[in-house]
Amino acid sequence: MGRAASGSRLKKVNVPSITDVMMNQERPFDLLSKALGQQVLIRMKSNMVIRGRLRCFDMHMNLAIENAEELEGSEPKTKIGTIVLRGGNIIFVSPM
């Protein structure tokens, strides 16, 4: 361990800071913010699929959904209305 061999040369590499990387990328909450007021498709851990309009969300990814309906395949199965989904039970949220 220790020093490089006397004949080897080290090459300096520019690596962007984590701040630079984070400032140029969208975060998951940024994407949810863009989906506010729009139709979203949500898959739950129970494999239930819900479609509705995203009203709001919090830092735990709990979602309030309006005009929610449970889907079977791509067809509506049950009209739910307004519902709050616990973030820990959500597998994914996809804007439609």
Q: Is residue 20 part of a domain?
A: no
Q: Which residue has the tokens 């969208």?
A: 26
Q: Is residue 14 part of a domain?
A: no
Residue 40: which domain range?
Answer: 28-95
- How high is the pLDDT of residue 91? 96
The torsion of the CA quartet 29, 33, 38, 41, rounded to 10 degrees, works out to 0
CATH of the domain at 74: 2.30.30.100
Q: Is residue 11 part of a domain?
A: no
What's the one-letter identity of residue 90?
I
pLDDT along the chain (96 residues), means of 10: 59 66 71 93 96 96 97 93 97 93
Closest CA to 40 of 31, 27, 50: 50
Distance CA 76, CA 50 (A): 9
- How high is the pLDDT of residue 9? 76
- How high is the pLDDT of residue 80? 96
